Amino acid sequence: MIPVARTRKAVAALVAGWRAKRLTVGFVPTMGALHAGHAELVRRAARENDRVIVSVFVNPLQFGPNEDFGRYPRALPADRRLVGAAGAAAVYAPSEEEMYLKGFHTHVEVEGLSDIHDGRFRPGHFRGVATVVLKLFNQVRPDKAYFGEKDWQQVRILEDMARDLDLSVKIIRVPIVREKDGLAMSSRNSYLSSAERLAAPALHAALEAGRKEARRPHSRPETIAAAVRKALEGSALKLQYAAVWDGRLLVAAYLGKTRLIDNVSL
């Protein structure tokens, strides 16, 4: 099984050894509970870099007070096997105490983009994401970092952070990986009951209804969002928002207690 670095010092030494051999480094930041979508990130990174490292860290800063930090799935042995098979050379799995030293009080916020859409419903979420990703970039010092397009707003925020703060890392977008029935792969899909899992593909179907509306002459963001709402009428999904932004149609919905997000290109 591939090695695990547990400290900032250990991961720095690992990457320094690769650098001494003039090897390029790809990086895949994750919160663990990995699936085939993460494996695709690793495979893409392995094709484009000499070595790939995957971080596994459930970041408390990006969870709100009533969110699922405590029950978020943690499965490091399975995660190591999955990313190793996909081509990763190592895993970086720091503790919360290692990531946030006692007295930590510095945060990163990408203004404007962090307060709309998902940020409107999850105050402070993207500040937590930007903060931990910047720390991980500083600890790993990769050439390229890979993020899935399912979290479209997150990727856009991190791209702006990298640009605005003159980071040398290149951020690579990787297309959404879906189940055969259209459901976007997500670690939180494990929360779904069997009945909820059967209902979940309705979210992607609603996105496709919105995309169909977008192709109509004289369609507007409001009519596209209305098409999504109509498609979900009578389903088990409770739409939180549908928004046209940055060339995409973004949605978030609850299925029972599980919050699902997805998006498609327009």
- Residue-wise DSSP of the chain: ---EE-SHHHHHHHHHHHHHTT--EEEEEE-S---HHHHHHHHHHHHHSSEEEEEE---GGGS-TTSSTTTS---HHHHHHHHHHHT-SEEE---HHHHS-TT-------TTGGGSTHHHHSTTHHHHHHHHHHHHHHHH--SEEEEEGGGHHHHHHHHHHHHHTT--PEEEEEPPPB-TTSPBP-GGGGG--HHHHHHTTHHHHHHHHHHHHHTSTT--HHHHHHHHHHHHTTSSEEEEEEEEETTEEEEEEEETTEEEEEEEE-
Entry pTM: 0.97
pLDDT of 33 above 90: yes
Tell me the pLDDT tens digit for each residue of 154-185: 999 999 999 999 999 999 999 999 999 999 99
Alpha-carbon distances, residue 244 vs 15, 64, 118, 177, 250 (angstroms): 40, 25, 13, 21, 6
* pLDDT recorded at residue 66: 84
Do residues 81 and 134 both lie within one domain? yes
Contacts of residue 88, defined as CB under 8 A and 6 or more positions apart, other chains included, come to: 2, 28, 42, 45, 46, 52, 53, 54
Average pLDDT over residues 35-52: 98
Average pLDDT over residues 12-24: 98
Average pLDDT over residues 57-75: 93
Do residues 96 and 202 both lie within one domain? no
* pLDDT recorded at residue 10: 98
Tell me the pLDDT tens digit for each residue of 129-148: 999 999 999 999 999 999 99
Instruction: Choose, from 35, 38, 105, 107, the residue flagged as catalytic.
Output: 38
Do residues 202 and 239 both lie within one domain? yes
Tell me the pLDDT tens digit for each residue of 72-104: 999 999 999 999 999 999 999 999 999 999 999
Do residues 89 and 168 both lie within one domain? yes
Tokens representing 141?
Answer: 């010092």
Do residues 27 and 159 both lie within one domain? yes
Beta-ladder partners of 146? 172
Annotated catalytic residue 117: no
Alpha carbon distance 228, 213 (integer Å): 9
Do residues 111 and 22 both lie within one domain? yes
Do residues 127 and 218 both lie within one domain? no
pLDDT of 192 above 90: yes
Please indicate, yes or no, if residue 31 is contained in any of the structural domains. Answer: yes
Give the domain CATH number at 221. Answer: 3.30.1300.10
Sheet holding 170-174, edge to edge: 4-5, 90-92, 51-56, 25-30, 144-148, 170-174
Residue 86: closest CA among 49, 55, 45, 27: 45
Average pLDDT over residues 213-233: 97
Q: Note down the domain range covering 95.
A: 4-174
Average pLDDT over residues 53-72: 94
Q: If you average pLDDT over every residue of the chain, what do you get?
A: 97
Alpha carbon distance 102, 121 (integer Å): 29
Average pLDDT over residues 237-250: 98
Tokens representing 99?
Answer: 């990531």
Cβ atoms of 145 and 172 closer than 8 Å: yes
